[in-house]
Each structure stands twice: as C-alpha cells, then as structure tokens.
Structure 1
Amino acid sequence: MNIHLVSAVVALSVVSTQIAAQTFPPQHWAGESGLLSLGENGQVDLSAADPMDILRIEEAFIRWGLYYDEGRSDLLPSLFTESGEMVATLGSAEPIATFTGPEEIGGYVDATLEQQGDQRRHSITNFLVQEISESEASAMAYGIVMVAADGLSVGSSVVYTGDLTKGDDGVWKFERLTIAIDDYAGNLN
C-alpha cells in the first residue's frame, strides 16, 4: 500500500478523534467558507446546455456513491480525468486529504473499505449545476450516507462540489471532486 494512502487514512482517524469532543460543524460553514456558492434562482443560464449533459453530470455524482458503496474501485477511473483530484474536508474548507489521479483515488477507496467493516449507502440529493459550457461544468449536490452495522443509522451528511470536463467521447469526468463532510458518526474510516 502506498505510504501516502496510509498517512491519509491515519490522518482521517486522528482528525475524527480530535473533533469528536467539539460541537461540529458550525451552521452554514460550507457557504461561509467559500466551498459552496449559491446564487438566485434562475441565475445560471441553462438555455444553451444540452439537457443530456446535465443528466450525465448528475450521473457522475451518483456513480461516485454507487461505486464506493459497492467497493468498485476498478470503475472509479471512469469518473476522473488523468489529473483529476478528490479532496476531503471535515467541517471546514481546509482539506484533510487530497488524492490525485484515478489510481491514487481508487487506492484510497480500497484502503478505506478494508478498514470500514460496515455497509454504506450514499444518497445523492439536491443536485444543482452552477456553471456549464460545452466542455466544462461546476455542480454540487448533498449526500446522506446511511450506515448498516448494528442497525441502520445516518453516518454522515456531505456537500459534494465538482468541476467537470467533457471529453471527446461525450463523457463528463471530474477534474476535482470535493467531499465536504459535515460530521461523521463514529469512526471516519
């Protein structure tokens, strides 16, 4: 296993222990920290956008959750560009871990799943395109992560933000996917 992956998993465990004693996170933290940008209803001009592109962008977010839940790190490369990043934050805009490239992201998921020991189900909600052109887009969604271990419970709530690029094949991939965790019940791993 890559030493950077091990370090990141250990860092996530340490941060979760340190944060457990705090009231966390503060209200409106994602917007106030600049991680999430909301405008007035109708502000984003979607008239020139292909409706299928919007659906394919939403599909990328949904597939992230499905691939994670089913342990399909072999499919993760299809979600990211070669230089794509996955950034994790916990209750602030400051990254606690950053992974670059499909293989490193897949390795992070594999390492996390090895330690996890429960079944998770991501529910992607409140999807919103914030900007879109023919080949680039920014979008966001909320996520609720259900955990089945000793019964079913809400494990976390998440704000996902993504910058995506449309390839020549028409597939939208993440240049950057930020997983901003509000807080996590129990162990972060």
Structure 2
Amino acid sequence: MEQVLNPQPSWATKEGLVALRGPDSQSLPGQAADKILAAETLHRFGFAYDEQNAEAMTDCFTEDAVLTATTAGTRSLGTHTGREAVVGWLSAHWGQSRDQRRHIVTNAMVDDLTADSAQVTTMLLVTAAENGQFRPVTAGVYRATVRKESDGAWRIARFALGFDASF
C-alpha cells in the first residue's frame, strides 16, 4: 500500500501560494524602505490578530480586501470579500480558543514591487500557550498583494492564507 503524504510536499507552490525566484537583482536602493514597509504590514496583522485588536487589524486591510484560506490546498476555509467581511471572519475565531496564540510571520519575500503595490510571501508558525505549556499549532504560508494607499500606508488587498495542517 502506497503511503499518502498529508500535506503533500511543496503543496503551497502547487497551489500558487509560493512563487519562488532567485535573489532580487532588480530593486533599486531607494525601494528598500517600501519593501520593508510592505512586508511589515503582514507582521502588524499578526500582532493585531494575536492581541485581538480589531482596530489595528482593520487598518491592515484595504476597503476592497479579499481573503482566501486553505488547509494544504485540500480543504477550503472560504473566501471573504470586503474589509468588514475579512475582519469579521478573522475576529470570529478569537472566542474559539482559550490559549494565547502567536502568529510568527517570518522569511518575508517582496516581489513585483511598484510605486503602489507589491507581492509579499511569508512563512507562518502558529504557536499557543496555555496553563504554562507551550505548543506548536500549525505552520504555513501567507501570500498577499499589498497596496500603498493615498495616506502612504501599505495595506493588504488580497490575502491568501495557507495552513499545513488543521488547527
């Protein structure tokens, strides 16, 4: 009997969440700040989510944001359209666990940077602490199209969440 791997190795690439390229040789020195700020938007989202700060989390998204989520490309967790729907779906999860979650957003790659948009891909590790015990919950990837809006802030316009395992 052949063993079926779950998740399949490199599932995120096969699903289009990860599009690897070689090192960036195209960005100009003046674009470094925009790359950092674009990636930082995903870091701010992680902090806002974990601290259950709806106002800060809302400010991470554009008005027309779209969020999709999947577990290993095999189970859809839905599509949510519009900032209110996105934040509503995300914040609905806050009451479902009694532990302190931490979304560790790391290894950011910023590609396709223009004056007002970029693609940001990161790795994700979700951990939990409860009753003095620490445990991993899941891992995965985030892929976001971020836009620089008229106030100069980078915000998430399209957000794909890919989890390696259910949580």
- What is the aligned partner in structure 2 of residue 148 from structure 1? 129
- What is the aligned partner in structure 1 of residue 109 from structure 2? 128
After the TM superposition, which residues 44-123 of structure 1 pair with which residues of structure 2 at under 5 Å, given as runs? Answer: 45-47=26-28, 50-92=31-73, 95-123=76-104
CA contact (8 A) 1:145 1:156 kept: yes
Call closer, same or farther: CA 1:134–1:48 in 2, change over 3 Å.
farther
Distance in 2 separating the partners of 1:72 and 1:48 = 34
Distance in 1 separating the partners of 2:32 and 2:70 = 31
CA contact (8 A) 1:91 1:183 kept: yes
Alignment root-mean-square deviation, CA: 1.8
- What is the aligned partner in structure 2 of residue 34 from structure 1? 16
The aligned amino acid for 2:151 is D
Structure with the largest fraction of helix: 1
Distance in 2 separating the partners of 1:128 and 1:79 = 18
Q: Which of 146, 153, 159 is the aligned partner of 1:171?
A: 153
Call closer, same or farther: CA 1:35–1:94 in 2, change over 3 Å.
farther
The aligned amino acid for 1:27 is P
TM-score (normalizing by structure 1): 0.79
Gaps of 5+ in 1: 1-21
Identical counterparts, % of pairs: 27
Distance in 1 separating the partners of 2:75 and 2:145 = 17
* Consecutive aligned runs of 4 or more in structure 1 exceeding 6 Å deviation: none
Gaps of 5+ in 2: none
Distance in 2 separating the partners of 1:172 and 1:85 = 15
The aligned amino acid for 1:173 is R
Aligned residues: 163
Aligned to 1:24, the other structure's residue is in SS state: coil
TM-score (normalizing by structure 2): 0.89
The aligned amino acid for 2:31 is D
